[in-house]
Structure 1
Amino acid sequence: MTPEEAYSLKLVSYVKLSERGLLHVETEIVKDKYKNYFFLNRQKIGDGALPQLHGDLLYYVQGEKAKALFEQREFGKPAKLLSLGKVVKYALHRKGILIVGEEKADEKAPFYAVNVKHKFDGRGLLRSRTSLFLFTEGKVRKVVGGSDFDVTDVATNGERVVVAVNKGDVGLDDVYEVDLENGELKKLTEGEGKVTAVAMNEKGEVAFLGHRKGVSPWAVQEVFFPEQGKSVLCGKYCGSSVIADLFDSPSANLVFEKDVVVTLGQEGGSVNVYMVSDGKAEKLTELKGVVRGFDYRRGKLAYFYTTTEKPSILHYDGVDYDLNPGIRGIPPVEVVSEVEGWAIITGQENPTILFVHGGPHGAYGNAYYVEFQFFAKNGYNVIYCNPTGSQGYGEEFARGVVGDWGGKDFKEIMDFVKEVKEKFGLKGKFGVTGGSYGGFMTNWIVTKTDFFSAAISERSISNLVSMCGTSDIGFWFNAVEAGVKDPWSVEGMEKLMRMSPIYYVKQVKTPVMLIHGEQDYRCPIEQAEQFFTALKLNGVATALVRYQGDGHEHARKGNPRNMRDRLKVKEEWFDKYLK
């Protein structure tokens, strides 16, 4: 399999149920660009990105410098309604169109940072913040906006309006009711926590997806009804934390219709659609797979999902539509012992690659992985697992890695590798790779063992102290994950350093390739540069691959040319040292 073949996929990236039936969007890579296509009841109707349907078609298209909102009537040409620096979402209100978006900013002007949070991965320097706008009578008016917070979501029943707001340097969220006349906000949430989606039913009742456990990245999400003081858990985690390298880019979703809420719920490596009613959650689907997106309207459900063998399947009216009938992945064998894991075995004599997921509170699951299939179809065994810290197994399990990165998780991963090796009688060499926290773990592993013959560390972490001062979230995330109150105290820095792979770099003998996007604001490229320089000066075989223009998502939705090149250089590195 070539990198070009690996990415020759069509993926459903959006579904919407309307009076006219099912609207969905398909995404594919054409040369070096992502292309999106609209389908109404499976009939192609045009190109664009992430539409919503209400009567006539409204959709927005991303240009090089701005996003424009268009209206497409049943007869006639598309009409541009407005243009902003970014359009995130919109909702229809009796007074006009509510838009969550950003104003245009001068990207070449000097930038003066006054807040610790002044940059963000995927957004760059925060020259403008996300606001709530109202488009009415041909004009756009800002309703809610500021220099130190972002409006992240909006919901309305045509009268009442609520927004989710992310505020402060750490970025905690609340839900507010909005007065459209004067922009005044009335807080609906209590305590502190996260809000990843908000919804409203016809009666004006509010629900949101998130948690109220303060600064705790490991917290399990639930469906909250803030004005009723109630919350409901779907499975082990409401929403989905399953990481995949598909470029469909789904976002958190919540539908509130009449007296029911519909959302996703995760249990282990599977994600299904759940309905919340009368304070209880029940599954609407029973998939051994991962639902990536859905919509629910008047008792009808449409969703798209992935399995270990199929990249993207659209389900509606009891029928599955396979976008890639000619593609079938090699199915993994489940390996369940101390932790849940999977193994794609292509031959006892073949080399084996261990993959470690990011987060650390993400998870692998019953999904199709482009990279796993690429290596499996090129003569490698592929193994992966969900060690302590992964979501989908309860909050205690997710929190178990806090203050102990490289401790229990490292032991569980190595025990999993040994079990797989014995179970399948594997005789070839072993390699290890991972991204983000998986990159941290790759770096950590090569400082602790020479078991692996080669390693590839992506968007990685090598120095938790320097990351505190350079990452968009490191100044708080590293501290809470390490169990450190003050990362700038002597005690705090000492603990962070002792949890950092760079502290033990003298022990590395394994050849290590580092891959990084130059615009990565989450795990800045200086993390790879440090490890690369230290390895080089200590005589360890190493290489640093830098991808211009790519951020932290370089392996999932980066520049397609870079993504193909990434598979090529990874295969070359592992071929050199493992075959």
Structure 2
Amino acid sequence: MKKSRSNMPKTNRLITAEDLLKFKWVRAVALSPGESKIAYTLEWIDENKQKYWSNLWVVPTSGGAPRRFTTGKVKDRQPVWSPDGKFIAFVSHRDEEDGIYIIPADGGEARKLVSMNGTFGSLSWSPDGRRLLCAFRKNDPVPIGEDGKPDRKAAPVFRHITRLFYKLDGEGFLPKDGFHIWTFDTASGKGTQLTAGRYEELSPAFSPDGEWICFASNRQPDPDRESLRIDLWVIPSGGGRMRKVSTPPGPVWMPSWSPDGKKIAYIGHDRPDDSWGVANDHIWVAPVNGKGGAKDLTAGFDRPCNDSTICDMQEGHGIPAPVWSADGKRLYFMASDSGSTALYTVPSSGGKVSRILTRPGHLQRFSAAKGAKTAAFVFSDFSIPAEVFTLKLSEKPAQPRQITSISKEFLEGILLSRPEPASFKSFDGTPVQAWIMKPTHFKPGRKYPAILQIHGGPAVQYGISFFHEFQLLAARGYVIFFSNPRGGQGYGEAFAGAIVGDWGNIDYKDVMAGADELARKPFVDPKRVGVTGGSYGGFMTNWIVGHTNRFRAAVTGRSVVNQYSMSGSSDIGHEVYREMKATIWDDPDKLLRMSPISYVKNVKTPLLILHNEFDLRCPISQGEELFLALKMLKKKVEFVRFPEEPHGLSRHGRPDRRLARLGWMLKWFDRYLK
């Protein structure tokens, strides 16, 4: 008798590069006011078009089958529920324009409220449900083509630059105008622009009575030179004179009103001259009337109140606004610690910080309704790419419940390598957290080639999150070792700040201590070890091959090569001095001492350079300089360039180019390590 397809046993197979095309990712999550439903956006890859699309879905918090609310090849994002729970507003990019759409909570056709030539962000409803609030940035005028019609692909005749910060990786040249605050009538779509001018206004939020709007804005004489001096402001919700709320100098992000409207919580710190992410973002509360001053509620918590965990399943990091309890006595927020990002709480008067989500893993985004009894969140770990979970905030300990199983069926037939703890002590006794992954088809008694992975940043952390690249390398028979050396976040400010102005010293020693730990494993062949990393991890890869010959092969991606030239060409070049503690006009020698290009004569390790041609963070010229120098010196080097791709190719680049990148890495390591 022939077995039915549903009764056939599932075959376990190894993960492939092409499996990347089958993943689906939860990108945004929003809990309904009655806490009975969760809206989320689900992103997927169109293999034929080589593009990403995202649609709106809704699932009951009690569990059950998710329901697709929008269809088609669109880019839906930022879902927000109306106060009465009857509608969902969201932003979507359709017909070459960003727009705001509203759809009934029971489903139906989405109604376009407004669309404009620009970008919408920070969408929210007014308390009475009659207005939608957002930040909007209009694009520059589109050039007119030969046919007399706007040509979005045509370049302008010239670009007149007057600002330091005029380009951004992933976006290109920035529009002349910045983000400003708008409200839109939810019935008519009529818009009202509340702010304008040379300054930007970000993260607007309605007060509980709907009379005021708070927002963050840097209004220094030159915001680009003092980019972390961001202040907290309020303005009447109908427009009018704005007023600054007293906060210490430093950044203000994601403001959130208290239930009684007397206080505003925000994420930030009081170090306006901080280097690249060393100062911990903390949870602050400021009285709206300015009396008493702002207070750091998490002053004794030596961890960043944000998502510092990186993976190749998402681009960027979510930083939700702090959420108030119904009685205003507690605040809920995310924070990163020792390889996990989780949900935490602190009394609104200050006090002990408590971790609510104790399950190790990667909290990527979270949402709580007014009253904050339940949290809905997007969660990942070593075996889960991204799923929707919930937990009761009052439970001790809280028990997370998985609501969606988007990747379950797809991953059930694939064998995965399970990372194991492999922490070690560095040269000076400092503990360094690390993990090791054995080959998927590991057999005791054999020795395997290994690859040492180095994260970017540097002020981020590897963590307990799904990593397709690592799983792919393990499936191809490699041992994978990844760690969090000093310079990374999640282990305290002293740990993160240890390399400021001194790249290539302590961090290099930590990485090499990790290499020693890897080589001691009985299943690792110490003569067949490779090294790779991207961005700052690429810098460290370049630095390593210029200072030791112990690795058989290396792959460097979108890397820092020359601190001198990068400070004049990167989109954040004007901020390099804050991290390096040197400028090209005051101390060029220090920049060159911290530049791998200065040590290319020492390189003997075969090096593959991967770089993206539209990378504005670590410009393509960085890769070009390294390739030219090594080629002139007759070293073993090859250079692969990815057209049109920004810095984040490995996380959200064009799918076929992501596959090509993985293919080149595999070919290089297979050539020299097998």
Pairwise TM-score range, normalised by the shorter structure: over 0.9
The residue type equivalent to 1:52 in the other structure is V
Change (3 A) 1:21 1:76: closer
Partner of 2:495: 397
Partner of 1:220: 280
Change (3 A) 1:203 1:441: same
Q: Is 1:253 the counterpart of 2:253 in the alignment?
A: no
Partner of 1:38: 56
Structure 2, unaligned runs of 5 or more: 1-14, 60-65, 143-154, 288-292, 392-399, 426-431
C-alpha distance in 1, partners of 2:625/2:422? 36
Q: 1:139: how far off?
A: 2.6
Partner of 1:568: 663
Q: Does structure 1 retain, via aligned residues, the 8 Å contact 2:531–2:554?
A: yes
Greater CA drift, 399-408 or 57-66: 57-66
The residue type equivalent to 1:169 in the other structure is D
Q: 1:78 aligns with which of 106, 110, 114?
A: 110
Q: 1:203: how far off?
A: 1.9
Partner of 2:572: 473
Structure with higher Rg: it is 2
Q: Is 1:23 the counterpart of 2:71 in the alignment?
A: no
Change (3 A) 1:185 1:511: farther
C-alpha distance in 1, partners of 2:573/2:490? 24
Q: 1:291 aligns with which of 356, 360, 363?
A: 363
Q: 1:389: how far off?
A: 0.8
Q: 2:241 aligns with which of 165, 184, 187?
A: 184
Greater CA drift, 362-371 or 548-557: 548-557
SS in 1 for 2:384: coil
Q: Is 1:103 the counterpart of 2:138 in the alignment?
A: yes
Q: Is 1:231 the counterpart of 2:286 in the alignment?
A: no
Deviations 1:186-236 (A, max 9, x none): 222433322332222332221111211112121111001122521123562
C-alpha distance in 1, partners of 2:103/2:213? 25
Partner of 2:581: 483
Change (3 A) 1:75 1:500: closer
The residue type equivalent to 2:113 in the other structure is L
The residue type equivalent to 2:324 in the other structure is F
SS in 2 for 1:164: strand
Deviations 1:464-516 (A, max 9, x none): 0111111111222x2121222x4322xx1110011100111111121212222
Q: Does structure 1 retain, via aligned residues, the 8 Å contact 2:123–2:134?
A: yes
- Greater share of strand: 1
Partner of 2:428: none
Give the TM-score taking structure 1 as reference length: 0.94
Q: Does structure 2 retain, via aligned residues, the 8 Å contact 1:262–1:296?
A: no
Q: 2:162 aligns with which of 108, 111, 114?
A: 114
Change (3 A) 1:189 1:429: farther
The residue type equivalent to 2:38 in the other structure is L
Partner of 1:273: 343
SS in 2 for 1:77: coil
Q: Does structure 2 retain, via aligned residues, the 8 Å contact 1:67–1:87?
A: yes
SS in 1 for 2:70: strand
Q: 1:14 aligns with which of 28, 43, 47?
A: 28
SS in 1 for 2:80: strand
Deviations 1:254-311 (A, max 9, x none): 2234312211112110111012224132221101111111112231111121112221
Partner of 1:90: 123
Deviations 1:81-115 (A, max 9, x none): 22231112212225622111211223533221111
SS in 1 for 2:31: strand
The residue type equivalent to 1:60 in the other structure is V
Q: Is 1:319 the counterpart of 2:427 in the alignment?
A: no
Q: 1:7: how far off?
A: 4.3
SS in 1 for 2:567: helix
Q: 1:142: how far off?
A: 2.4
Q: 1:390: how far off?
A: 0.8
Give the TM-score taking structure 2 as reference length: 0.81
Q: 1:556: how far off?
A: 0.9
The residue type equivalent to 2:23 in the other structure is L
**Would you say how many aligned residue pairs link Structure 1 and Structure 2?**
574
Change (3 A) 1:151 1:231: same
Give aligned-pair identity as a percent: 29
Q: Does structure 1 retain, via aligned residues, the 8 Å contact 2:206–2:237?
A: no
Q: 1:546: how far off?
A: 1.9
C-alpha distance in 2, partners of 1:182/1:292? 34
Q: 1:174: how far off?
A: 2.0
Q: Does structure 2 retain, via aligned residues, the 8 Å contact 1:7–1:370?
A: no
Change (3 A) 1:165 1:545: farther
Greater CA drift, 566-575 or 420-429: 420-429
C-alpha distance in 2, partners of 1:431/1:177? 54
Q: 1:178: how far off?
A: 2.0
C-alpha distance in 2, partners of 1:155/1:177? 9
Q: Is 1:53 the counterpart of 2:87 in the alignment?
A: no
Q: 1:463: how far off?
A: 0.5
Partner of 1:344: 437
What's the RMSD between the two structures over aligned residues? 2.0
Q: Is 1:5 the counterpart of 2:53 in the alignment?
A: no
Change (3 A) 1:133 1:540: same
C-alpha distance in 1, partners of 2:652/2:20? 14
Q: Does structure 1 retain, via aligned residues, the 8 Å contact 2:79–2:88?
A: yes
C-alpha distance in 1, partners of 2:633/2:504? 23
